[in-house]
Homo-oligomer: A and B are copies of this chain.
C-alpha cells in the first residue's frame, strides 16, 4: 500500500499524464479521427505497445480525453457562473454562455469531440456520463435560484404525459423548478450549443463577420426569453 505511493507509482502517474498531454495535443491539432496510439507513443518516446501498460485500448484513451473535455467545459461554466452575484441571473447566464463559447473557440477539436458528430465506432462508456452532466447542472442551478428568488415565472405548457414524466425526472436535479421554466431552460440550452456549433462548424462563414457581437446579441435575447424581460 505504501508502495503504491512509491517511486514506481509516481513515475506511472507522471507517464500517464504525459501520454494524455501528447494525446490532448494531437487531438487539438488533428482532431479525434486522426488520433492514433502509435503516433502518441512515438511522441512520448515509447514503443507503441508500451502504451498498453497505461491504456487498454485506443478507445480508453479517447474516453479519457472526452472526460477531460467535459470537465473543462463544466469548469469554465462553473467559474463564470460563480463570478457574478448569486441574484444576478441575467449576468450569470451571459457569463456562463460566453464562457462555454469561449472554451469552444479556444478548443474547437475538443468541443467537436464531445458536441459534434459522434466518433464512428466509439460507444461512450458509463464513465463519461457524470462529467457530461456537469455543465448542465450549472444551468439547472441557475433556474433553481431564479425560482427560489421568485424572479422566474412558470408558464402553461401543453404537451404529452410522457414528456411530463421526463421533466419530472429532470426536476430531481432542479428541485422546485416547474415544467414551464424547465422547458425554457432547455430551449436556451439547445440554442446555445446550436449557435456555437453553427458558428464553429463554419455555417456562418461569409454570412456573419462580427461573430462576437452576433453571439452577445443572441445570448442576451435568449437570457430574456428564459429569465423574463423584467430583469
Interface residues of A (CB under 8 A from B): 30-31, 33-34, 112-113, 115-118, 120-121, 124, 129, 132, 157-160, 162-163, 165-166, 169-170, 183-184, 186-187, 189-195, 197-198, 201-203, 206-210, 213-214, 216-218, 221-222, 225
**Cβ-neighbour of A33 out of B33, B157, B162, B183 (below 8 A):** B33
* Shortest Cβ distance from A225 into B: residue: B225
Contacts of A117 in B (CB 8 A): 31, 112-113, 116-117, 201
Nearest-neighbour CB distance to chain B for A58, whole angstroms, equals 14
Q: Give A93 to B23 CA distance when docked, in angstroms.
A: 44
Q: Are A214 and B33 in contact (CB under 8 A)?
A: no
A195 to B186, alpha carbons, bound, how many Å? 9
**A118–B166 touching, CB < 8 Å:** no
Contact of A192 among B159, B194, B213, B221 (CB under 8 A): B194
